Amino acid sequence: MSAPNTSASTTAPSAQPHLERRFTLLSATALNMTNMMGAGPFITIPLLMTALGGPQAMLGWLVALVIVICDGMVWSELGAAMPGSGGSFHYLREAFGRAKLGRLMGFLFVWQFVLSGPLEIASGYIGFAQYASFLWSGLTRPWVIVLVTVVGVLNIILLYRRIQSIAKITISLWVGTLITVFAVIVTGATHFNPHLAFDFPPGAFNFSIGFFLGLGAATRIGIYDYLGYYDICYIGEEVQNPGRVIPRSILISTVAVALIYIGVNFSIIGVVPWREFVPADKFPASNFIVSVFMEKVYGNTVALIFTLLVLWTAFGSVFALLLGYSRIPYAAAESGYFFRVFGKLHPTKDFPYVSLIVLGVLSIIAGFFSLGTVIDALIVTRIVVQFMGQIVGLILLRRNAPNMERPYRMWLYPIPAIVAMLGWIFVFATTQIEVIFFGVGVLALGFVAFLIWSWRKQSWPFGLLEAVS
């Protein structure tokens, strides 16, 4: 889709609603970083340390970084070559063939995404509620549900507008996020105690089966912290000069957030002894560890103010997530792979309002579960079709469409793709068996639903009808 010359408000009355290319490199990078740096490091450090029982869990965070950097190259090549709305849905359909296997992959992606997308957004709502409990010590479970609902509704309301307004809101949220993380880093750097940061327990690096299972758990948490490095790909049809902006925004945001995370993680464990919040389920302070961190250094008043900044950061993350993810069912519906109602654009504001509302409501409901459950479920559910599927898809496109225009080509191909694939296999294989069964079960139900849907439409594998577009 080419970039329009005028906005919908200045076109002729008969013009159809359309998406506009409003995101520049700055706003695209802001979108990715706001998503990546949202609640992640502020709510998962206790879970990360619990995975291996001490600071050695940072090794899992480094493994996650390697996986993310390599996988980011996959997203960059696919996003630059096919900058349409929907991201992975668009890539999988093209790579595996629209008429046959691509229909299955596209359907399964949307199927699992209806669950995993809201789960990821919900994790931000959960983190918001956790830090709110530092301000409101009497925040009981019923009130947590009320708070999650209010924040979720507010998120929908703010996104119910034109994309150019959203780009400005994204940058403002990004600035707030940067202020928050740099305040943590500066405080940590000036009060850093290496004896606390590197206080390893006995046998910290005994390489046993238990160690590798814990490493896998720590890596899953680390990957969760990085999720969002690809968020701009979901709104590729709204990006200016996508062949340059998409890969650059992915690279810049990943490198910048990696450096920031190093500072944040070591700042906290260099001031707050990890034994005061590990294991996470036994220490209430693990719900708002950064507030405890600021309280130790500056006292309660500053901690209260900083908690408000963390809440701002958490909200910025869910804002960026719901923005990008609302475009996926829209893209699927436009192509005939999902219910047609999701393909509707707002008649005057030009955004997929049905998709926005549905995903927003599902995210609120998912926010009623625990953080650990949400993280494990969303990553395992997403790995097979989306992350692994895209890697295979990239290889297929390199072989079957060598002349496709590729503004960005993966460096050292295929080494990063292989490393990313091995990383995803490791994360999947070290997950608790019941969570694996859950993820596989979701895909199995999706496959059955695909067969029923295809039979009713008399499309592949039951007929010759091809995809709508």
Whether residue 431 is predicted with pLDDT greater than 80 in this model: the reply is: yes
What are the C-alpha distances in Å from 198 to residues 140, 229, 259, 289, 459? 35, 29, 19, 18, 59
The rounded distance, in Å, linking the Cα atoms of 246 and 277 is 39
As a whole-number percent, the residues of the chain with pLDDT over 70 amount to: 92
The rounded distance, in Å, linking the Cα atoms of 363 and 122 is 5
How many Cα atoms within 13 Å fall on the side-chain side of residue 448?
A: 5
In this prediction, residue 215 has a pLDDT band, given cuts at 50, 70 and 90, of very high
The rounded distance, in Å, linking the Cα atoms of 429 and 216 is 8
Whether residue 8 is predicted with pLDDT greater than 50 in this model: the reply is: no
Residue 52, token pair as written in the block: 């291996």
As a whole-number percent, the residues of the chain with pLDDT over 90 amount to: 39
465 beta partners: 459
The rounded distance, in Å, linking the Cα atoms of 143 and 129 is 9
Whether residue 438 is predicted with pLDDT greater than 90 in this model: the reply is: no
Segment among 14-18, 204-208, 226-230, 307-311 with least mean pLDDT: 14-18
In this prediction, residue 151 has a pLDDT band, given cuts at 50, 70 and 90, of very high
Region 353-364: what's the mean pLDDT? 92
Whether residue 464 is predicted with pLDDT greater than 60 in this model: the reply is: no
In this prediction, residue 352 has a pLDDT band, given cuts at 50, 70 and 90, of confident
**Model pTM score:** 0.82
How many Cα atoms within 13 Å fall on the side-chain side of residue 202?
A: 0
Region 198-214: what's the mean pLDDT? 89
